[in-house]
Amino acid sequence: MRLPTVWCGRLLASFFCGVVLGFVVATLDFQSSSLWLQERLQTATIDSYEYKLAAPDVLPSAKRFVPTAWRNPECNRTTADGVKQRVRVLCWVMTGPENHATKAAAVNATWGQHCDKLLFMTSKHDTTLPTVALDVSEGRQHLWAKTQAAFKYIVHEGLLESTDWVLKADDDTFMVMENLRHLLLPLNASRALFVGLRLRPFSPQGFMSGGAGYVLSRMAVLRFVEEGLSGDIRGCNNSGKDGEDVAMGRCMVALNATFLDSRDSDGLERFHAYGPERQMAPDNGMNWLKNYSYYPLQPPSKCCSAAAVSFHYISATAMRAMYYLIYRLKLHEVNECELPAS
């Protein structure tokens, strides 16, 4: 009877040892799993939008888990800055001495700062603005002469060497330069290209509205100045009595420049002849635009592309307001707990 007793004792001892050993291993494994789980939860929490704002103060050592796009306050500018380096735009603005302190000053303080180079083409120097005083008289009848002189200045001063595109705008035009660069990004500035709000009368290819702003590629500018204004190209040797933008359209046709469709994928215009409040009004009185538009005009409820580039007839005050709404106004997520009690 002794042998079975000894065997049973050893069996019970082995059983209890196994239980104890299993418990220890399970405990260690649970602790290890818990640490792993905590790290995963910590990562997931830090990667969440709600935790992003608190992460630097609560867990400084865990910042490495926060996506770069959230760590860097300038992240949203990274893409825009990259495009800006690849799409260099010189902006010249048609103005006059009477508008220097109002419209021109508003352009200089707002969207003009987003150009690679900004010039105000006028007839009088102004130390408060980057002006170029052209030897051209003021007045609507001289706008074509001023336009020719402005492009000549840009070429003869060697400014094309540091730019790809030249934008012409009026001093009551508002431009969204980031959207313009995005539009121009896939295009080749070494070809003669012409971009803007395309209207259809007066020439076979129509013309681009001067008030909405139009853009010429580097090659188009060179050909305009070196060939078009040499006197040998008949289509460019016109009086401009129908308007400087019509005259430019005729000249671009004569130079075989390519007129580009600047509408977005939904057929909505990016360049606009009026401000947004006029463009969107149910009865906006723009029958002339319906007749002149090169492409079918969309109803006011669908007037404007989400990637809009320009608006015309913008006052100095409205220009500053639009700049605030586009570049400075921020939308914040509202937490229900942050709302005032009812």
The CATH number for 197's domain is 3.90.550.10
Residues 174 and 25 in one domain: no
Each residue's pLDDT tens digit, 328-338: 998 877 666 66
Output the pLDDT for position 68.
39
Distance in angstroms (rounded) separating the CA atoms of residues 93 and 213: 9
Residues 140 and 195 in one domain: yes
Residues 30 and 104 in one domain: no
Q: Comparing 195-209, 213-227, 279-293, which segment has the lowest mean pLDDT? A: 279-293
Whether 93 maps to a domain, the answer reads yes
Last residue of a domain, one of 35, 50, 71: 71
Residues 62 and 91 in one domain: no
Output the pLDDT for position 50.
32
Q: Residues 74, 79, 82, 88: what is their CA dihedral angle, to the nearest 10 degrees?
A: -110
- Rounded to an integer, the average pLDDT of 213-229 is 96
Output the pLDDT for position 337.
63
CB 88 within 8 A of CB 164: yes
Output the pLDDT for position 335.
65
Mean pLDDT for all residues in the chain: 80
The answer on pLDDT for 80 being more than 70 is no
Residues 51 and 101 in one domain: no
Residues 105 and 28 in one domain: no
Q: What's the sign of the alpha-carbon dihedral 225, 231, 232, 238?
A: positive
Q: Comparing 10-24, 49-63, 124-138, which segment has the lowest mean pLDDT? A: 49-63
Residues in the chain: 342
CB 270 within 8 A of CB 308: yes
Each residue's pLDDT tens digit, 243-287: 999 999 999 999 999 999 999 999 999 999 999 988 888 777 778
Each residue's pLDDT tens digit, 166-184: 999 999 999 999 999 999 9
How sure is the predictor about 65, in pLDDT bands with cuts at 50, 70 and 90? Answer: very low
Whether 261 maps to a domain, the answer reads yes
**Which distant-in-sequence residues (6+ apart) come within 8 Å of 70 by Cβ?**
52
**DSSP string covering 103-137:** IIHHHHHTGGGGSSEEEEEESS--TTTTEEE-S--
Residues 239 and 320 in one domain: yes
Output the pLDDT for position 33.
44
Highest mean pLDDT among 12-16, 82-86, 307-311: 307-311
CB 225 within 8 A of CB 216: no
Output the pLDDT for position 51.
28
Distance in angstroms (rounded) separating the CA atoms of residues 92 and 109: 15
Each residue's pLDDT tens digit, 4-36: 554 445 545 555 555 555 554 444 444 444 444
Residues 66 and 90 in one domain: no
pTM for the structure as a whole: 0.74
Tokens 């019970």, residue located: 12
Output the pLDDT for position 103.
98
Output the pLDDT for position 327.
94
- Rounded to an integer, the average pLDDT of 184-195 is 94
What SS3 class is residue 88? Answer: coil
Residues 125 and 56 in one domain: no
If one counts the domains in the chain, the total is 2
- Host domain of residue 29: 16-71
| DSSP H or E stretch at residue 163 | none
Residues 95 and 55 in one domain: no
